[in-house]
Amino acid sequence: MKRMSMGLSILAVLVLISALVGCAPQEVINAGGQRTVIGEGGDSYATSGDVEPQGDVVVKFNDMIKPILQDVFGGVKLNMYSTNLGGKGVVLDYMVKKSITQTELAGVVSGIEGNGYQKLLDIIDEDGFMVQEMRENEYTMAIEGNFNEQDIAFSVVPYE
């Protein structure tokens, strides 16, 4: 039964991330009320806002992820976030200073794995990626985005 609920949680997370990142340009209004168009080209980082994370789970994962992205991309802004599963899970959407390449993705994955996560699977093609990591008996994390864009999303759910 635990495997089934974890599988459903993972599926829900993937659907949510896909809706956030998507392949087509989309307008997002972050918590600060600032509008950002994701996936439109140009410098999305320069025009995006940097929202202040609030809530224990949001702060916890932002404090882990944001320094990794800062090291890899030389600049990062928390564009938006949402909580799910009664505040136990979180989706964090970031704008990074440089376009994402496979080299930068490898740096992000390495940083996450340096925090005790292990890769479960990755789906990578010429356009984008979805990497799933797990911290045993704690959390499952999905990382998703498109290459040559500046938006990267993380979805974290408790391991159950």
Q: What is the DSSP string of 80-131?
A: EEEEETTTTEEEEEEEESS---HHHHHHHHHHHHTTT-EEEEEEE-SSEEEE
pLDDT level of residue 42 (50, 70, 90 thresholds): low
Report the pLDDT value the prediction gives residue 80, as an integer from 0 to 100: 94
| pLDDT, mean of residues 126-141 | 94
Burial code (b: 16+ CB inside 10 Å, e: under 16) for 74-108 equals eebbbbbbeebeeeebbbbbbbbbebbeeebbebb
| pLDDT, mean of residues 109-115 | 97
Report the pLDDT value the prediction gives residue 96, as an integer from 0 to 100: 96
**Which pLDDT tens digit goes with each residue over 21-38?**
444 444 444 444 444 444
d(CA 111, CA 83): 23
pLDDT level of residue 99 (50, 70, 90 thresholds): very high
Domain boundaries, given as residue ranges, for the chain:
2-158
Chain mean pLDDT for the chain: 81
Q: Which residue has the higher pLDDT, 96 or 9?
A: 96
Report the pLDDT value the prediction gives residue 87, as an integer from 0 to 100: 82
Report the pLDDT value the prediction gives residue 140, as an integer from 0 to 100: 95
Least confident of 5-9, 48-52, 79-83, 144-148: 5-9
pLDDT level of residue 16 (50, 70, 90 thresholds): very low
